[in-house]
Amino acid sequence: MPDDVFNWLSSSLDDQVTVDERLVTRVADDLGAVTAAEIGEIGDVLLSILEDHSGTPFPMRVGQWSVTTSTRNLRSALCSTLLVLGLQAAGATSPTIVLAAIAPFLLDIEKVGFRPESRDVVGEMRADITDAAERGALWAGLPEDLRHEMPYLRMIELSEQLQRAGALTKLPDAPNPAFRQRIHAAPSERVPSRRPPLALLVADEWLPSKGGISSLNRYLAFGLAETGLEVYCVVPSARAEEFADARRGGVELVTPAGIPGLEPGAALGMTRPLADHLIPDILIGHGRVTGPQAKALRDSFYPDAFLYHIVHMIPDYLEWSKTDRHIDAGTRAESRSDIEEKLGVAANCVAAVGPMLYEWFSSVLAPCESPPPLLRFDPGFDTVENKTRVPSPGRPWILMLGRLGDAKPKGLDIAAAAAGWAVHIANGAPRFDFVLRGSPEGQAEELHEAVRGWSQQTSLRVIVRNYTTEIDRLRNDMMRADLALMPSRTEAFGLVGLEAIVTGTPLLATDQSGLAMLLHQHLPSELYDQVVVPVTDDIEHDTASWGHAIAAAMRNRSASFATAAAVRDTMARACTWARSCTALIDVWNSARGDSC
């Protein structure tokens, strides 16, 4: 704090100071307050901040009142008071305590100043919040409780208010704007209170019984709700526990009105899913699964909505690993690629999940004269699950999880053969159970026999369990596992691998995945090489490389868990749901600004 402001404070930070009506009047006088309202405003802000810092409610300020604090606390509170008064004068409408909490993240609190002659609060911004990327990174880095109090949309609003008030000045020799705002001036014209923007996601289910798309949709909906959007998700049908699960994350599930003769899923895009007074600002569809329905809703009912098309798969890769279908793989791949491409071009923005899909759709849009913006959407690795993991007691579990009816695309034959090879070369490594979670209903015995055959090891203990959507059961499986396998021949991203990482479960993942590409961008080579294993589609080669990797992980399980913890911590810092969701919103916000 500059020497000429509040220089009557003791230089000894541990000295005790009595805060009473006389001190508030002195502070107000230093800040040029004249009217009783101005003096009262300064006192209310200062005491609210001091009370919040102390964690103890102050007595009611009636008659003779006083509270005692240290010089250090009072200096900090005075700096925060200056910033809050400046932000409020510029039009900020958040509660005082929220503004005081976020102010040190916006400005360097040690360099806050006050110019008595003009009654200006001045400071240095820590980031250029007029820039979407910097603003999103700042918000994503806030503590979780503060993100809840200051949703991302409120941060955008604050940035716009400061710009309208002329409080931000870009200097040629500084990376970030300077803050300057007169206090006790008439506040800038404020935007009337209105409901937050509304997002409508279109999904074929809420809890994921059909794989990664619905799992990502759920995480995305929760992440968007955290930013301050009003979030709805329309699904064909939902159970009571699904409505409850969505509400816990700030999301409202809706189901479409039925149409006689049509299954609920077929009616997704044919009827208006929301009450007439609820008009989506944002519509989100997922690939060819719900992209057509989202487009139909935009075209038929919500023409002003900003449509996102989220790309989850590459048909030209995936369909060629499903050669057991009745329709020729080439025909399927081309037909499904055409659908994906047409839906993307018709959207206002394409969001590709991870680097592999981003690369693919970049080439799809290359021939377009006026392509929609393409956003790379990296799923978050941050989670409340930060428990230190150690090897499970008893017989180890090696877990493979997913929709295992698609055995070849998921690399189940590779995993089984490699598990058998790991048993063969064990050399003292503990025997393990090979646990498969994801058998189609009624096919567990058939899958069990197929896996035993691929493994060529009669001593391999195989446990097959049906696919489930129960979140707690899936989490327990992952938390019980000593090693998770994702040996897919192709995996556009690989959410199963992400789930393993965020729970701290040791993982071996295919290099033929968007997840592997993302890990390569953020992990040091010594970690990456312990997690990612090549898949060549040469069964003998893959059996050997994966078998040796499994045996090594089983031989030193403590080291495997230490590696998993390092991977989780690194990726949780690099990729968060908050950062990804703010990037998504910024595309819409930029387009909205351009159209105004």
Domain coordinates in residue numbering, the chain: 16-182, 198-380, 397-574
> Does residue 322 surpass a pLDDT of 60?
no
Which segments of 425-569 are extended strands (E)? 433-439, 461-466, 483-486, 507-510, 532-533
DSSP lists the bridge partners of residue 233 as 201, 253
**Residue carrying structure tokens 């690399």:** 411
Q: Cβ(420)–Cβ(454) under 8 Å?
A: yes
pLDDT at 116: 85
DSSP 444: H
Fold of 198-380: Rossmann fold (3.40.50)
Tens-place pLDDT, residues 549-577: 999 999 999 999 999 999 999 999 999 99
> Does residue 110 surpass a pLDDT of 90?
no
Tens-place pLDDT, residues 178-189: 999 998 755 444
pLDDT at 79: 86
Tens-place pLDDT, residues 200-244: 999 999 988 766 899 999 999 999 999 999 999 999 999 999 999
- CA–CA separation, 357 and 314 (whole Å): 7
Tens-place pLDDT, residues 247-291: 999 999 999 887 877 777 777 888 899 999 999 999 999 999 999
Model confidence at 50, in pLDDT bands (50, 70, 90)?
Answer: confident
> What's the predicted TM-score (pTM) here?
0.84
Joined tokens for residue 215 = 């799992």
| Per-residue CA distances from 381 to 33, 35, 414, 480, 575 (Å) | 49, 52, 27, 20, 6
Three-state DSSP class for residue 376: strand
Neighbours of 471 (CB within 10 A): 14
pLDDT at 118: 84
Tens-place pLDDT, residues 469-527: 777 888 899 999 999 999 999 899 999 999 999 999 999 999 999 999 999 999 999 99
- CA–CA separation, 576 and 267 (whole Å): 34
248: which residues sit within 8 A by CB, 6+ positions away?
none
Joined tokens for residue 558 = 């403590």
Run of H or E residues at 63: none
Tens-place pLDDT, residues 428-447: 676 899 999 988 888 999 99
What are the backbone angles phi and psi of residue 164, rounded to the nearest 5°? -65, -35
296: which residues sit within 8 A by CB, 6+ positions away?
269, 270
> Does residue 330 surpass a pLDDT of 90?
no
85: which residues sit within 8 A by CB, 6+ positions away?
31, 41, 42, 45, 121, 183
Q: Classify the C-alpha dihedral 488-489-495-500 as positive or negative.
A: positive
pLDDT at 208: 81
Tens-place pLDDT, residues 151-180: 999 999 999 999 988 999 987 878 889 999
Q: Could you tell me which residue, 552 or 331, shows the higher pLDDT?
A: 552
- CA–CA separation, 209 and 234 (whole Å): 16
Strands 66-70 and 16-20: what pairing?
antiparallel
- The CATH class of 397-574 is alpha beta
Joined tokens for residue 205 = 């289910």
Length of the chain: 596
Model confidence at 75, in pLDDT bands (50, 70, 90)?
Answer: confident
pLDDT at 570: 96
- CA–CA separation, 106 and 584 (whole Å): 22
**Residue carrying structure tokens 């040091």:** 524
Q: Cβ(221)–Cβ(198) under 8 Å?
A: no
pLDDT at 226: 94
**Residue carrying structure tokens 């707690």:** 472
Model confidence at 102, in pLDDT bands (50, 70, 90)?
Answer: very high
Buried b (16+ CB within 10 A) or exposed e, 348-387: bbbbbbbbbbbebbeebbeeeeeebebbbbbbbbbbeeee
> Does residue 197 surpass a pLDDT of 80?
yes
Give the pLDDT mean for 118-126: 89
Neighbours of 586 (CB within 10 A): 18
Strands 282-286 and 198-202: what pairing?
parallel
